[in-house]
Amino acid sequence: MHCFPFTLIFLSTLFIFFTFPITLAQQPYIGLATNACPRRGNSNSIRGYTCNGGSANHTCQAYLTFRTQPIYNSVYTISTLLSSDARHLAETMSVSQNTTFETNKLVIVPVQCSCAGEYYQANTSYAFQNTDTPFSIANNTFEGLTTCQALMHENHNPGHLYLGRELTVPLRCACPTKNQTEKGIKYLLSYLVNWGDSVSVISEKFGVSCNNTLEANSLSLTKAKIYPFTTLLVPLHDKPSNSQTILQSQPSSTSSSPPPSSSTHQSSNKTWLYVVVGGVFALIVLTAVIFCIHYHKGRKKDDSLSQLTVSESFENQQLGKEMKKGDGKLSEFIHGIAQSFKVYSFEEIQRATNNLNSSSLIKGSVYRGVMNGDLVAIKKTEGDVSKEIQILNKVNHSNVIRLSGVSFNEGQWYLVYEYAANGPLSEWIFFGKFLSWTQRIQIALDVAIGLDYLHSFTSPPHIHKDLKSSNILLDSDFRAKIANLSLARSVKGVDEDDQFLATRNIVGTRGYMAPEYLENGLVSTKLDVYAFGVLMLEILTGKEVAAILAEDNNKNLSGVLSAVLGEERLKEFMDPSLQSNYPFELAMFVFEIIVGCIEKDPASRPSMQEIVPTLSRTMNSSLSWEMSVNISG
């Protein structure tokens, strides 16, 4: 017996049965699930708005919003990117076709929206660039007007991306339903939600009924929360205009509630009908899918462990032992590193630290010193430091701590680093010191950029393997630097999506170590991604991960966060020292990033290359929020 032919017939029958109700239903707002790639959320709506206009070949005039970027900031470049008619775009914005807009200007873009199979979409094309990923194309280049899932579904063999490959990009648009048309609604506008936006604010901006907007997105008075970087459908009776893109006084960080509805009873009756019908349909489909899964479960194989590249666990450790046996190897090693780092005499180390006096001790075996008039941090250590020195020799990045010199004396190494005036991040988030929302996001972004540099721009790529708050140092401007690369290792020749290295030497810090590493010794860049998610969680909550798990009596971080997101416990979960001085929608968005980073399946976690631009957008929105608060305050 084959499951899928049965399912196809079964679902086709259901489709015929439910066709009429679907033509009346509105589009669901699925929020942050559109930012996943692809890890959570099985809703088909993630791929696009469902064709529900009553005709399989339905085409209509629709509108999108787009915020200008340095590259896409003119009528020509925006119309080219989104395959819009430049003349119509210029007419809509009441400008000439050669106009260049200021950065972050909200632009209304007219498009032809058509049914393509199950979904409405306005297709455009995009040439793949070297630094692109499906995630960055969807969420950064196109700002959320498409989704990673839609891109991967629309393009054959999405895993095979190369420079110049022409991708079809399905943009999120929709046409009015029969019910909406009867109400005089002629157009639907896909609005990109920004920080501080609410359904009522957006509705007022475009002069439409808040209730109509709620209904168009299958939202309600009690469920009207929307999030930045997602699309909201705005039902329009008339064509939109440039006047509706002019920024008004910034709203507060807490979304205001929509006004009461005069037709709540009527809408709720329809909503109740749609919910019941949709629920029955979903239940039946779910039953069929579960049947298929169980049928094929025994035939599936886990390929993760079959694609291991076994490596030695203790590479380079012999070098340290040999150094202790004789001066030949030591002299050769020091001579080699002298080409890149200054080699200090032990007397210089003593002078810099007042003879290694306890008054110069920062913490552990790290001393504060002065070299050539500059403050430095001097780390005293023994054993093999060759790997860390070799890695730092290849690194030149502002978000990775800089090694400036070394010294060796009687079996002890002294590593001289740049000085980070504000010390480890752990001292700030766990011990009562205050960091603002914007400072926390900047720190997270700095760490993400540093990790991306290690993963993508060092040769060979490296992973840190011990990322935690005490290994993040803050300079005088509270900019973050990744420190302590003693456990770092190369991952040369490993495709992070398909392969892992394997080790039997499990080292690191509990709570930060990814499940596949703890359980099977699997090593990839996704170890650092998992640890980064834990780090961000600690940055936002002000609590160590062990304390978070203990409070919730839950051994699974994903379970803890699901409860926070599902029950909207975010405010009580955030660091109380912030005193609610943060943009709620952006905080929720960052928690979604965290959830993605700590996925159990490493292949489902985003790469640091994907996280960096997303956090960069979050940082820009946070700065705008901070500015508006300062002005209004």
What Å distances lie between residue 305 and 300, 311, 522, CA to CA? 13, 14, 9
pLDDT in tens, 10-55: 444 444 334 433 444 468 887 766 665 654 444 556 888 999 865 5
Q: Phi/psi at 106 (nearest 5 deg)? A: -80, 120
> Residue 410 has which token pair?
């009687």
Q: Are the C-beta atoms of 105 and 67 separated by less than 8 Å? A: yes
Euclidean distance between CA atoms 109 and 92, whole angstroms: 8
Looking at residue 449, its pLDDT comes to 95
> Residue 52 has which token pair?
């529900």
Euclidean distance between CA atoms 501 and 493, whole angstroms: 10
Q: Do you find a cis peptide bond into 613, omega within 30 degrees of 0?
A: no
**DSSP letter, residue 633:** -
Euclidean distance between CA atoms 448 and 618, whole angstroms: 13
What Å distances lie between residue 372 and 43, 332, 375, 393, CA to CA? 61, 27, 9, 21
Paired sense of beta strands 361-363 and 412-418, if any? unpaired
Looking at residue 503, its pLDDT comes to 77
- Please report where in the chains the tokens 């010191």 appear, as a residue: 433
CA 99 to chain centre: 33
CB atoms within 10 A of CB 335: 10
Looking at residue 270, its pLDDT comes to 43
Q: Are the C-beta atoms of 70 and 103 separated by less than 8 Å? A: yes
Euclidean distance between CA atoms 190 and 145, whole angstroms: 8
Looking at residue 246, its pLDDT comes to 73
For residue 166, give the amino acid letter.
E
Paired sense of beta strands 403-409 and 342-343, if any? parallel
Looking at residue 268, its pLDDT comes to 41
Ranges of beta strands (E only) in 157-200 are: 166-171, 187-192
Question: 287: number of CA atoms within 13 Å, CB side?
Answer: 9
Euclidean distance between CA atoms 448 and 482, whole angstroms: 10
Positions in the chain whose pLDDT score sits under 50 = 1-2, 4-25, 39-42, 248-277, 280-326, 495-498
Euclidean distance between CA atoms 40 and 48, whole angstroms: 16
What domains sit in the chain, N to C, each tagged with a CATH number?
26-279 (no CATH), 317-418 (3.30.200.20), 424-632 (1.10.510.10)
Rounded to two decimals, what is the model's pTM? Answer: 0.64
Radius of gyration of the chain (CA): 28
Ranges of beta strands (E only) in 425-540 are: 462-463, 472-474, 480-482, 489-490, 500-502, 522-523
Of 151, 152, 165, nearest in space to 123 by CA? 151
Q: Phi/psi at 397 (nearest 5 deg)? A: -150, 140
Euclidean distance between CA atoms 627 and 625, whole angstroms: 5
The burial class, CB within 10 Å (0-12 / 13-18 / 19+), for 564 is: buried
Euclidean distance between CA atoms 571 and 519, whole angstroms: 34
Contacts of residue 94, defined as CB under 8 A and 6 or more positions apart, other chains included, come to 241, 242
Euclidean distance between CA atoms 97 and 79, whole angstroms: 10
From first CA to last CA, the distance across the chain in angstroms is: 69
Positions marked active-site: 466
For 590-628, give one letter per residue: b (16+ CB within 10 A) or e. Answer: bbbbbbbbbbeebeebbbbbbbbbbbebbbebbebbbeb
Helices (H) and strands (E) in the chain, counts: 22, 20
For residue 357, give the amino acid letter.
N
Of 142, 152, 132, nearest in space to 82 by CA? 142
Ranges of beta strands (E only) in 117-224 are: 119-127, 166-171, 187-192
- Please report where in the chains the tokens 């993508």 appear, as a residue: 456
- SS3 labels along 42-67: CCHHHCCCECCCCCCCCEEEEEEEEE
Euclidean distance between CA atoms 280 and 291, whole angstroms: 17
